[in-house]
Structure 1
């Protein structure tokens, strides 16, 4: 049975409340508040904005009799995904059918002959029924994202027509989950919202738990089953997830126990973050990781990073690197040629596996005589000697990953308002503004964990809400669709989050004092005052001595204690200390307690000590909570 409209109205109110938490504060003009009527001639508000809108007479009404009519396998796939999302949005079960459409239906068509729509464009017509046409399955899918945004505001859509085609082919987000683990529900929310905003590329620097190299499995990793589920969600929502293992620099998560592969200077001091590019064993190690990642990432791209290899140092301290370059490329070779040689060998290896190589730009300093292999995609974030125009002139696909689009955890945050006010678009690189978009593949925002305890995941979600909408807008269409940033913020607020998006800021228990008991009885029962934090976690304050539960011991990485088995202790309470924030998650028989920053759960040792462990290493304790 279809739900009535009342549950949907409640859903809209709940969604609006969640959006208010996650959007950056900005004044909203009364005339543009979510749900306010628009003149019939104005395009309906979406993100990205509809640049092309021809109004018609009347409206389309979504109602209890609506069906999804689709012919052909590709159209049916789109229709089935839309049906799932309508159900998640509170619309009950909407049937997918073939046959002749009737008034009130949503018609989805994939018509390869509509070549002007390209690989991702679509046409949407609203009238007595609503019709979405793409030349490809992806294009039709994006038409359904527009439909969902329109239905988030009203079940009545003004009659009209739009042809909506993206400006850039890469519309993305980059996430470094490379040291600090980011929960999979958070990443799933990101994938859903990216697709909802028609973004198609998630570049994910991360560690997958290795079967081939178990010695490298320091915490921060994801299991292969977790990645398979995330990739499957990305495939359903047309978000390509591209993995990255940064090399030959920033490899400390992989080289901690492989000192034999670390670059060593002339004083015999090894560099734990740098791979020795002159060693065949180093190349074999890295390519074996590519092969293992290919088991769970089907993407046709491989990101090797290649940034900041000589950060804080220079090649002069490593004379054997120059010797290697000269031996291979002649007396005029430079140490940088050895670095580029490693990139090119990885390029050839990846190409042999059907994958295009991606790198950051800062290693392309112009100090090399050996060119980077043709076809390597470059992501430009830093102003160095080799400019964006030169890279495009040399034929390299170029993505804008400008530092001005960064969100550094506990540090620098992009100023979206300033970017919007000056109509920033992907032609504006660090150090150079290009006149044409030719050769530019698109742009992305980037999330970095430099101060891992500086912000929680939920705080990062709040900070990135408007940057996500902004980059979605500038990579799909106009850089300035509304007169002011406040107007654009209102636009983003009006469409809300994707169906299926989970509010991760809602604790599972109400504030109060509870006695916590682990179900195995190893730990002494203890009473704690459980109190919600502003970012949606909880603190646990001991009723006995007023101290707060925290994890702080063990190996520290990026200001975060990431050593499995390290102690969970009670310390002086500090509201600003994110390591005292916990997630109480419902589990069979009680609750699981997971640290908001380390993403490890509390385990109780046989002697009653509290320790933190990844869930796949030790079974998290199950806690029962009783009042008082």
Structure 2
């Protein structure tokens, strides 16, 4: 209530009404007044005694980078004044910014709040014309105390200048945490002076996978790859970030994702090796041996040096994706379990994490781990990063543990942000900017007390397919800006259309800062509905204001004379639809293209037995008959997947017809645990009771999409049953051995 009173009092006497700012994140309150302030080389900066000198210097540098002139600092009254006053600004990290025709006053609750006010001022300068700022007042403070972005430098290594640029961008958009993922199977990236083998051996892999790991045969570039940050470089990054009020949290992975470290110290693994840093992406069975005391000695010695380099309250210890295969057959691990009275390997992992947590507590540090650390019992003081959805975070908060929400479906930026075929290779799935912005981190299922354990939100950037700095920026921005707004701005009053309006105003700044951001957020998207008569209705959408969509159905590229879109496009036969967005006579972005297949099955009722799972659970069973086939990227929502279960679909043509072909597709990617069925059959019936088998297939040799072209002697049928037997369990020696296999099918086509 006191915050609301503060806002009301602040705006009393400013009678020009509210307006919209161009700021990201959206401020708590913005008020536009008449007049403008023009920044010139004659302006000066003044500050009170509480303003740190390095903040003043940074303010000068940011203004000089944009304007070309350096504003002098004076103790006398100046046109731009910076102050710290925790009474006038009650909220930590908060600020008030008052722009008047002849002066600017910026007041922060603390140095961080003052810094964020400067970032808003600089952002407004980037959006100004001739450095003329509209007179206005802003009250602003963060929604969450933890506002983070992550970067994996193990799979691909980014040098210090890029790390600093990344930190600059995070600071500009009011993030306060940089989660630096420094070790993994593919490379160890931090110098540990006690163990020079980590720099000489573990920091390098002999070669790197070319293309996506699902592609077979695997191809490699044959080039040694790697590098690491010296301790001096780490200190420089930490210092640089601290000046920008960003805390750097290091991640040292354990007990899994340890192949790089084991390549240097094979005695720390269950088998003794030999090991080598992984040359491709995935989860590997070889992990730190939990029964070997040398493992804990090694990790404690590593952490001794890590905590000296990073003053952060938290140290991230991973804890995710740790297979128990080696532990199950390791005499030392089994002896540890027996000695500690642990009932299974999950409790052994909990023992491992808790032992490391106790050690870090002696260093006055706390641990953060991925949500797998919940398995087998959560360490008493641990903070959980919920990545496999929201369930881990919810469970942690119900147990009164702190949590940070970072769910894979919404905030993983190694996923595709567009479904256009020309997108560069990404890990999988589809996370457009709109989906990132839609995520609300406070679960409805929690009480207010439980939700109080939520520290905030983080976006994650895994670098398997990010081989260059430009590609990394393309995947991160502008999606990171959506995270920034969710983390900082009040939930109420935020809308996606207004976020896009402000994003467009931010584009000139991103270009000046040479950010290779993805600018296709206004490109066409589509949705398809299907009627029982087999006709499709295709809806096309763009978020670009006052744009015209034009389309063709004859295979030609849309141009200004092509048919203008005014509503759903009706399709009654198989067609390739192409469309493009136009602003006036100028095409905006890429051409949209999609093939639609209309058959006797299209729009007819279909029943799917069993339980489709994960990302392959359809919104509606009619996905199987909506005229759209799945793609090799398997991220469009058209594939229907069974995890360890058989597939059985029953289609009702609603009247008896003569048919001679039933088609579908099977997706086979063993390196994604997508396995072909051991047997696929097609059965037909006139009455839905007595079925006759008309086709079967046992060979699916293609690594990718395997067409099923079930041709047979013409039969009269109303009902069609498609049966496919799941592989069940991934066989020994294959990727993911021992886990349930996926069985993926898509569109059902009948002629």
Alignment pair present for 1:310 and 2:310:
no
Partner Cα distance (1:47, 1:115) in 2: 20
Choose which of 168, 172, 184 in structure 2 pairs with 1:192: 168
Counterpart Cα distance in 1 of 2:495 and 2:52: 31
Is the counterpart of residue 168 in structure 1 residue 140 in structure 2?
no
Could you say if the C-alpha distance between residues 76 and 90 of structure 1 is closer, same or farther in structure 2, counting changes exceeding 3 Å?
Answer: same
| Gap change, CA 1:300 and 1:450, over 3 Å in 2 | same
Pick aligned residue for 1:285 from 278, 298, 315: 298
- Where 2:66 maps in the other structure, the secondary structure is helix
SS in 2 for 1:395: coil
Q: Report if the CA contact (8 A) 1:249-1:273 is conserved.
A: yes
Q: CA deviation at 1:298?
A: 2.3
Mapped pair 1:93 → 2:70: yes
Q: Residue in 2 aligned with 1:22?
A: none
Q: Say if 1:504 and 1:482 are closer, same or farther in 2 by CA, change over 3 A.
A: closer
Q: After superposition, what is the alpha-carbon deviation per residue over 1:599-626, rounded to whole angstroms, capped at 9, x for unaligned?
A: xxxxxxxxxxxxxxxxxxxxxxxxxxxx
Task: Return the alpha-carbon distance in structure 2 between the equivalents of residues 327 and 246 of structure 1.
Answer: 25
The within-5 A match list for 1:417-566 is 417-419=433-435, 423-427=438-442, 437-451=451-465, 455-478=467-490, 480-483=494-497, 486-493=500-507, 495-496=509-510, 501=513
Q: Which secondary structure state, in structure 1, belongs to the residue aligned with residue 287 of structure 2?
A: strand
Map of 1:366-445 to 2, 5 A cutoff?
368=376, 371-383=377-389, 387-404=392-409, 405-408=411-414, 410-412=426-428, 415-419=431-435, 423-427=438-442, 437-445=451-459
Q: Deviations over 1:438-469 (max 9, x none)?
A: 321111111112346xx422112112111111
CA RMSD of superposed structures (Å): 3.0
Q: Secondary structure at the match of 1:447?
A: coil
Partner of 1:35: none
Match of 2:119 among 145, 149, 152: 145
Deviation for aligned residue 1:156: 2.0
Taking a change above 3 Å as real, the CA distance of residues 269 and 224 of structure 1, as seen in their structure-2 partners, is: closer
Classify 1:172/1:248 alpha carbon distance in 2 versus 1 (closer, same or farther; 3 Å). Answer: same
1:469/1:383 CA distance change after superposition, 3 Å: closer
Tell me what 1:237 maps to: 244
Please say which of residues 53-62 and 77-86 is displaced more in the overlay.
53-62
CA positional deviation for 1:494: 5.0
Contact 1:173 1:201 in 2 (8 A): yes
The equivalent residue for 2:662 is none
The alpha-carbon distance between structure 1 residues 189 and 435, as it changes in their structure 2 partners (threshold 3 A), is farther
Using the alignment, how far apart are the partners of 2:429 and 2:62 within structure 1? 32
C-alpha distance after superposition, 1:244-291 (max 9, x if no partner): 1100111112111211110249x9999874111222211110011111
Aligned residue runs from structure 1 range 6-25, under 5 A = none
Residue 349 of structure 1 deviates from its aligned partner by 1.6
1:110 paired residue number? 84
User: Measured at CA, do residues 114 and 337 of structure 1 come closer, stay the same or move farther in structure 2, by a change above 3 Å?
Assistant: farther
- Paired residues for 1:211-226 under 5 Å: 211-217=193-199, 218-219=203-204, 220-226=227-233
Given candidates 352, 359, 363, the residue that maps to 1:353 is: 363
Which of 25, 39, 42 is the aligned partner of 1:48?
25
CA-CA distance at 1:63 after TM superposition? 1.9
Where 2:367 maps in the other structure, the secondary structure is: strand
**What secondary structure is seen at the aligned counterpart in 2 of 1:274?**
coil
1:11 is matched with which residue? none
Which of 335, 352, 368 pairs up with 2:345? Answer: 335
Deviations 1:212-270 (A, max 9, x none): 111122333112222222222111111111111100111112111211110249x9999
The aligned counterpart of 1:550 is: none
TM-score, normalization by structure 1 = 0.66
Determine the C-alpha separation between the residues in 1 that align with 2:124 and 2:499. Answer: 21
SS of residue paired to 1:448: coil
Rg larger for: 2
Question: Structure 1 pair 282/442, CA: closer, same or farther in 2 (3 Å)?
Answer: same
Measured after TM superposition, the shift of residue 487 of structure 1 is 2.7
Shift of 1:42: 1.5
Instruction: Describe the SS at the equivalent of 1:310.
Output: coil
Structure 1 residue 488 displacement after superposition: 4.8
Cα pair 1:75 1:110 within 8 Å, conserved: no
TM-score, structure 2 length as denominator?
0.55
1:482 Cα deviation after fit: 4.4
How many equivalent pairs are there? 447
Number of the residue aligned with 2:651: none
How far has the Cα of 1:132 moved from its partner?
Answer: 1.1
Per the TM alignment, residue 49 of structure 1 is displaced from its structure 2 partner at its CA by 1.3
Report runs of 4+ in structure 1 exceeding 6 Å deviation. 267-272
Is the Cα contact below 8 Å between 1:255 and 1:272 reproduced in 2?
no
Distance 2:482 2:76 in 1: 40
Mind listing any 5+ residue stretches in structure 2 that lack a counterpart? 1-15, 183-188, 205-226, 277-283, 415-424, 518-670, 672-751
Distance 2:20 2:490 in 1: 14
Shift of 1:484: 5.9
Q: Deviations over 1:151-191 (max 9, x none)?
A: 11222222222210111111111111124211222211110
CA–CA distance in structure 2, aligned partners of residues 322 and 77 of structure 1:
55
Partner of 2:181: 205
- The structure with higher relative contact order (CA 8 Å, sep 6+) is 1
Change (3 A) 1:390 1:58: same
Q: Separation in 2 of the partners of 1:350 and 1:50?
A: 38
Q: Given the alignment, which residue of 254, 258, 261 partners 1:251? A: 258
User: CA–CA distance in 2 between the matches of 1:80 and 1:412?
Assistant: 43
Asked whether the equivalents of residues 107 and 131 of structure 1 are also in contact (C-alpha less than 8 Å), the reply is yes
- Is the 2:191–2:231 Cα contact (8 Å) retained in structure 1? yes
Residue equivalent to 1:125: 98
- 1:262 touches 1:274 (CA, 8 Å); kept in 2? yes
478-487 or 465-474, which deviates more: 478-487
Q: Does 1:84 align with 2:84?
A: no
Looking at structure 2, the residues matched to 471 and 205 of structure 1 have their Cα atoms a distance apart, in angstroms, of 19
For residue 178 of structure 1, what is the aligned residue in structure 2? 154
- Partner of 2:299, secondary structure, is helix
**Cα contact 2:382–2:402 (8 A) shared by 1:** yes
Q: CA deviation at 1:60?
A: 2.4
Classify 1:52/1:81 alpha carbon distance in 2 versus 1 (closer, same or farther; 3 Å). Answer: same
Distance in 1 (alpha carbons) for counterparts of 2:89 and 2:98: 18
Once residues 317 and 250 of structure 1 are traced to their aligned partners in structure 2, the CA distance between those partners, rounded to angstroms, is: 19
Name which of structure 1's ranges 353-362 and 187-196 shifts more when overlaid on structure 2. 353-362
